[in-house]
Structure 1
Amino acid sequence: MAISSRLDTTRVLAAVLLPTLAKGVIVRRPGVMALAEKTQSDATAIDTMRHLRDRYGPEPVRLRITGRSVAVLVDPADVGRLLAESPEPFALATKEKKAALRHFQPHGVLVSEGEARERRRELNESALRPENVPVDAIVRDEADLLTRHVMSTGELTWDSFSQAWWRIVRRIVLGDGARSDDQLTDDLKALRQNANWAFLHPRQRGLRERFQRRLDEHLERREEGSLAAQPGDLSGQVPHWLFAFDAAGIVTMRALAIGARGTHGILESARLWPTTPVILRESTKPTHWHGTWLPKNTEFVVFTPFFHRDEDRLPYADRYAPEIWDRPRDPAIVPFSGGPGVCPGRDLVLATGSATLDALSEHLSFLALSAPLPRTLNHFALRMHATPMGTRVS
């Protein structure tokens, strides 16, 4: 088992893990994202991971961190194994996830274990199906309003897109009665900002209770044509659905910026700029890797931008390559995670994102970013010049 030098441990912490935390794992911080784009911090992080692999070989690399066993994966096959063998012996509910997510979703499936996890996972898989909601109709309603706005201003910005996106999300999840409830998602955002600090931020119980009361009022309607109409105790799961749809909105906006279309376009956007840049698993018993045993409670770290944009392995690393989704892929290209812990809302997110791309692209033409695509892309700063379809852009 490779053990990194103290210098290399410092490099990984400084170039990979700390910038990822600074950008905001639960909700992105605009100021830090702007700086990250300016410095292309993900490019530095990917180079650091490549150095780790080149120096120590393909086995997991243990960092020299006092009091915690942490192993960074550098081989795609190891990523495939880690995800396939979750949640046992590689648990999804790590200490760090529990500390972060307790701020707004203490009963979510990601921080659940044992029978509770199995029950909640089954509920999520049953509820989060595209056929349970008229996705296309909802998207077209809101996209029509957004299209009119963009035609009047001549550009699509993150602010205008985000407002339309959240109306779509609230209708899909809770029904038309929640369409204009900005306060609900604003309160959730505030709780998620606290969650960025995990252990370091005290829980705001009053805010959490207010958010939950407001959410439960919407859920009590069980409005037809929304996920809220699905059977089961949804109250503890919906906060995570809303959280995940935030990342889906970022992916969709970035997809528009590269001229993507359809399901493959959403997948490519999530490959190029993963909204889950770090996947964590924690071992529930000693595990064997490349001839060496790692102790129980080892935290395994998968830095997804490295595996998604590694030009040494992937000839398409820095370009829009939707064709890769029609054939078998590298086991470490996991925009929606993988194995038993794969995102249960994957198909719903793909349906919603691709429907949004198609609805906007029917009427608007955007100038797309060209290859090589940047390693870090700040969605907050995107201002996309738009013209009506059929208008020649020179």
Structure 2
Amino acid sequence: MAVASRLDTGRVFAKVLLPTLGKGVIVRRRWAMAMAEKAQSDAVAVATVAELRERYGPAPLRLRVTGRSVALVLDPADVGRLLAWSPEPFALATREKRAALNHFQPHGVLASRGPERERRRRFNELALRPEKVDVEPVVLDEADLLARHVASAGVLTWDDFTQAWWRAVRRIVLGSGARSDVALIDDLKALRQDANWAYLHRRRHRLRERFERRLLEHLERGESGSLAAVASPDELLGQVPHWLFAFDAAGIVTMRALALGGVGVEGVLESARLWPTTPVILRESTRPTRWRGTWLPAGTTFIVFTPYFHRRFGDGYRPELWPTDEPSLVPFSGGPGVCPGRDLVLVGAGLMLDALRPHLDVPTVHPPLPATLDHFALRLPATRK
């Protein structure tokens, strides 16, 4: 297994990792996304990773990081192996991930290890089933209201879309009694903004307590037809913040799929392939591990830069790729750590996409599609009648 030069290690940080962190991993920064689109930072990052693979070969590339063992994954087969062998010996709850998620969901499954993780994982898998909630009527109701606004305004903007999307999400997760509770999501967003800094930002315990009190009020209603009705409020309280966090990414994917002219679940998946909302997947070895003839110490951090692997399949709209068993196409991660809410998200996003698309005059897009797409700046014109 090759070790990168100090210069190439610096290039990985300067052109791949820092621009990705700068955009915001937990919640996107509007100003940073605008700059990233202008510079097409993901294109630069993908080219950098491709060049490193050409220079060093397909095995994971060890980076020169003082006091840490870090490896950049460069081969699709290694992506499959890393995800398939999670959470043991490759834990999802890396130190960086725990430091970030502890700001707003310290009891979530992604921040957990061992038996506690297994219990929480089973709970999430059982709870996040589309058939357990009234997804379709909620999404179509909010989409209809948004479509009427678009017809009046003549354009769909991100700000209009995200307001409607969050109304639908609050109803799906917490019930119609939470439809107008914008303050709940504002508090969560503030906590997620802190989480962007991981261990570099102090935890705001009072803010999290306020958020959890407000969240618990909705959960205690246990409104029928919502996820709040699938378990007790105490069981849900530690998991729902992550569900809301994940639905934010789903909204971004849906807006981009609309701009893409996508249709149905395949359109949502293609949006997530072209512009992954989880651009970096991290795993951390729990014990010394032999990989391609090299022993790596416990605590080794493995980095998968997903745009590099996703763009191997082209820069155009290719819905025929789905479904797929390709191990490096991972819009919802993969292996035992695959997103437990994948089906629920795809149903909701697909419904919203198909309900809004007839009301928008989206031109046919041709490759190459941009490597970085700023969803905040999207303005989609209404269909002319």
Q: Same fold (TM over 0.5)?
A: yes
SS in 2 for 1:254: helix
Output one character per residue of 1:279-303: Cα deviation in whole Å (capped at 9) or x when no partner: 0000001111111111110000000
- Residue 325 of structure 1 aligns with an amino acid whose one-letter code is W
Mapping 1:359-374, distance limit 5 Å: 359-374=355-370
Alpha-carbon contact 1:46-1:305 (below 8 Å) kept = yes
Q: 1:6 aligned to 2:2? A: no
Aligned length: 383
Once the two structures are TM-superposed, the CA of residue 343 in structure 1 deviates from its matched residue by: 0.1
Q: 2:315 aligns with which of 318, 325, 329?
A: 318
Q: 1:234 aligned to 2:236? A: yes
How far, CA to CA, are the matches of 1:361 and 1:39 in structure 2? 29
TM-score, normalised via structure 1 length:
0.96
Name the structure 2 match of 1:295: 297
How far, CA to CA, are the matches of 1:329 and 1:116 in structure 2? 29
Once the two structures are TM-superposed, the CA of residue 4 in structure 1 deviates from its matched residue by: 0.1
Alpha-carbon contact 1:258-1:370 (below 8 Å) kept = no
Output one character per residue of 1:212-263: Cα deviation in whole Å (capped at 9) or x when no partner: 0000000000000100000241100000000000000000000000000111
- Residue 255 of structure 2 aligns with an amino acid whose one-letter code is M
Output one character per residue of 1:307-355: Cα deviation in whole Å (capped at 9) or x when no partner: 0013xxx3xx1000000114x4431110000000000000000000000
Name the structure 1 match of 2:245: 243
Alpha-carbon contact 1:138-1:172 (below 8 Å) kept = yes
Alpha-carbon contact 1:71-1:299 (below 8 Å) kept = yes
SS in 2 for 1:212: helix
Alpha-carbon contact 1:96-1:198 (below 8 Å) kept = yes
Alpha-carbon contact 1:367-1:384 (below 8 Å) kept = no
Name the structure 2 match of 1:338: 334
Once the two structures are TM-superposed, the CA of residue 368 in structure 1 deviates from its matched residue by: 4.5
Alpha-carbon contact 1:367-1:386 (below 8 Å) kept = no
How far, CA to CA, are the matches of 1:278 and 1:204 in structure 2? 26
State the identity %.
70
Alpha-carbon contact 2:4-2:61 (below 8 Å) kept = yes
Once the two structures are TM-superposed, the CA of residue 365 in structure 1 deviates from its matched residue by: 3.4
Once the two structures are TM-superposed, the CA of residue 361 in structure 1 deviates from its matched residue by: 2.1
SS in 2 for 1:305: helix
Aligned alpha-carbon RMSD (Å): 0.9
How far, CA to CA, are the matches of 1:22 and 1:254 in structure 2? 20
Output one character per residue of 1:143-176: Cα deviation in whole Å (capped at 9) or x when no partner: 1110011001111100000000000000000000
Name the structure 1 match of 2:131: 131
Name the structure 2 match of 1:265: 267
Alpha-carbon contact 1:367-1:385 (below 8 Å) kept = no
- Residue 65 of structure 1 aligns with an amino acid whose one-letter code is V
CA distance 1:149–1:214, change in 2 (3 Å)? same
Once the two structures are TM-superposed, the CA of residue 127 in structure 1 deviates from its matched residue by: 0.8
Q: 1:172 aligned to 2:169? A: no
Name the structure 2 match of 1:118: 118
**Is the deviation greater in 114-123 or in 239-248?**
114-123
Alpha-carbon contact 1:24-1:196 (below 8 Å) kept = yes
Q: 1:75 aligned to 2:80? A: no
Gaps of 5+ in 2: none
Name the structure 1 match of 2:285: 283
How far, CA to CA, are the matches of 1:111 and 1:369 in structure 2? 39
Mapping 1:85-100, distance limit 5 Å: 85-100=85-100
How far, CA to CA, are the matches of 1:163 and 1:245 in structure 2? 13
Q: 1:352 aligned to 2:348? A: yes
How far, CA to CA, are the matches of 1:370 and 1:160 in structure 2? 26
Output one character per residue of 1:192-230: Cα deviation in whole Å (capped at 9) or x when no partner: 000000011000111100000000000000000100000
TM-score, normalised via structure 2 length:
0.98
Alpha-carbon contact 1:99-1:199 (below 8 Å) kept = yes
- Residue 322 of structure 1 aligns with an amino acid whose one-letter code is P
Mapping 1:101-116, distance limit 5 Å: 101-116=101-116
Output one character per residue of 1:27-71: Cα deviation in whole Å (capped at 9) or x when no partner: 000001000000000000000000110011010000000011000
Alpha-carbon contact 2:359-2:382 (below 8 Å) kept = no
Once the two structures are TM-superposed, the CA of residue 142 in structure 1 deviates from its matched residue by: 0.5
Gaps of 5+ in 1: none
